[in-house]
Amino acid sequence: MANSTRLSPRQKMINLMYIVLTAMLALNVSADVLDGFTQVEEGLQRSNTNVASRNDAIYDRIASFAGQNPEKGEQWLRRADDVREFTAGLYREIDSLKTAIVHKADGKDGNPAEIRNRDDLEASSVVMLNPTSRQGERLRHNIDAYRTFIITMMPDSAKRANIESALSTENLDANGNRRQQSWEEANFESKPVVAAVTLLSKLENDVRYAEGEALSTLYAAIDAGDVRVNELNAFVIPRSRSVMRGGQYSANIVLAAVDTTQRPTIFIGGKQLPEGSDLYQFNTSSTGSFDYSGYLQVRHGDGSVTNHEFTSSYTVFEPTATVSATMMNVLYAGIDNPISISVPGVHNSDVNASMTNGTLTRSGNGWLARPSKVGAEAVITVTANVDGRPQTMATTSFRTRKLPDPTPYISFTDAQGNPDRIRGDKPISKSVLQSAPGIGAAIDDDLLNIHFNVVSFQTVFYDSSGNAIPENSDGPNFSARQREQFRRLQPGKRFYISSVKASGPDGITRTISPLEVIIK
């Protein structure tokens, strides 16, 4: 029995677009990438609706046949009911997780169809990786169970392999080795809300695809022992679901229930494919979505000829790469700024990059950008070796700023032997003050951790009449006159460290904010 309800190539290509966009993610993503996820999400929703309708049609055929011939069809209807029930439960679980993630990001009125905080990096981790609810782990186990259930119905090894690949929960590297990170951590840890929701929509699409394959197999099995062809249908099977501009598009044009002793003649756009060939391929030159159509010409034993029309579509996307600062959304002059650079579908060893206004060097799996001039734009250009030739993938501009001012501090060791710093936020004992050699300065706000060299500073004390007594330091250390003033301080008294000059790794010497010191 012929199957005319396979997924369309365009719907399959939409699924692959999620994989492409996921590879483009870094800690900071552009609005264009977020818009790309939104477009893919919309496409997946339309695809899910279409596939669900087709699956309903296959199920209705099985049910109709079972009603007409219960003896032959009832067993297949029961198995189809099991498929539908398992699929519906898993689909509801995935849909509820999408809603939970959006509610976490946008509040109780959040709508997965209209996400406001698309770049929220915490919601998906909170919902999916919570160690108490373990919803991501539970989803992975349910996907594994569903995949095992579906492939047991697939006698066709190629279909089994497709479903195992589509519903795989293994986290593998480019060489096929299993990573230590779990599937749920790889897909939902620190991912923008729009990316997490799109992934779950793609997963729904894969579940619908697996359901359709299972129902199609059950429907075909009804007449597995019969020899009967009463309907011919043309199908387009692309070898790739999406194509990068400059890449090659390939698709097989096949006829269902075709006589293997006689191949049909294929016409596309008025041109005939080579005799005996069903492979349609060409090089793409521009981006966008494109449609094409044609027909298969079949000769019958009685000498008559019939034409069977087909249509299909494909999407060509622009070569692109994601370049983002992993530590900050700007580049700071004078220090190494970690940069993540990746190109979808291209191994890191085949990716190269260069930068204006500074240097860009590899560091493990990442890069280090070191701008040289404050205020000048730094432009990073990414190239990749695609099909044996270099191709420019993306050009990204960054603003270059000088390092922010550090904060002065007095170092000491607490009663437990732990190093600590006084920044004027709490009183200090006189003994600790007298044991300190001088002051330091640093940026240590959990984003940057940069040491500055103190060049000089001044302490300001006040006598009993309220007169200010300034004393100069000995470089970064307290001078003898300053230490003499320390010995005269009484509990509750205070003095100020001002005119602090410090030099950072960018070579700029600056005067930083003063420090108030209170004696316990």
pLDDT for the residue numbered 188: 85
Q: Which helix (H) or strand (E) holds 480?
A: helix 480-488
Residue scoring higher pLDDT (189 or 233) = 189
Taking the C-alpha atoms of residue 93 and residue 207, their distance in angstroms, rounded to an integer, is: 12
Domains of the chain: 1-226 (no CATH), 229-318 (2.60.40.1930), 322-401 (2.60.40.10), 407-518 (no CATH)
pLDDT average, residue stretch 274-292: 80
pLDDT average, residue stretch 147-156: 90
User: Cβ distance 296 to 264 under 8 Å?
Assistant: yes
Tally of CA atoms within 13 A in the half-sphere of 270 that contains its CB: 0
pLDDT for the residue numbered 369: 94
Q: Which helix (H) or strand (E) holds 75?
A: helix 70-106
User: Cβ distance 288 to 313 under 8 Å?
Assistant: no
Lowest mean pLDDT among 37-41, 61-65, 76-80: 37-41
In Å, what is the CA distance from 255 to each residue of 47, 263, 264, 288, 293? Answer: 23, 9, 8, 28, 14
pLDDT for the residue numbered 166: 86
- Radius of gyration, alpha carbons of the chain: 33
Q: How is 357-390 classified by DSSP, letter by letter?
A: SEEEEEETTEEEEEE-STTS-EEEEEEEEETTEE
How do residues 306-331 score in pLDDT, each as one tens digit? 888 888 877 776 676 666 655 556 89
Extract the tokens encoding 326.
């992993």
User: Residue 301 pLDDT > 60, yes or no?
Assistant: no
pLDDT for the residue numbered 228: 40
User: Residue 52 pLDDT > 90, yes or no?
Assistant: no
pLDDT for the residue numbered 8: 53
pLDDT average, residue stretch 35-52: 68
Phi and psi of 79, rounded to 5°? Answer: -70, -35
Residue scoring higher pLDDT (269 or 511) = 511
pLDDT band at 1 (very low <50, low <70, confident <90, very high): very low
User: Residue 340 pLDDT > 80, yes or no?
Assistant: yes
User: Cβ distance 353 to 340 under 8 Å?
Assistant: no
Question: What share of residues in the chain are helix, strand, coil (percent, to 5)?
Answer: 35, 30, 35
Extract the tokens encoding 292.
């094409």
User: Residue 157 pLDDT > 50, yes or no?
Assistant: yes
pLDDT for the residue numbered 198: 82
Taking the C-alpha atoms of residue 10 and residue 211, their distance in angstroms, rounded to an integer, is: 18
Highest mean pLDDT: which range of 198-202, 205-209, 298-302: 205-209
pLDDT for the residue numbered 239: 61
Q: Name the β-bridge partners of 395.
A: 381
Amino acid residing at 190? S
pLDDT average, residue stretch 5-11: 51
pLDDT for the residue numbered 257: 64
pLDDT band at 375 (very low <50, low <70, confident <90, very high): confident
How do residues 464-505 score in pLDDT, each as one tens digit? 888 999 999 999 999 999 999 999 998 889 999 999 999 988
Taking the C-alpha atoms of residue 147 and residue 166, their distance in angstroms, rounded to an integer, is: 9
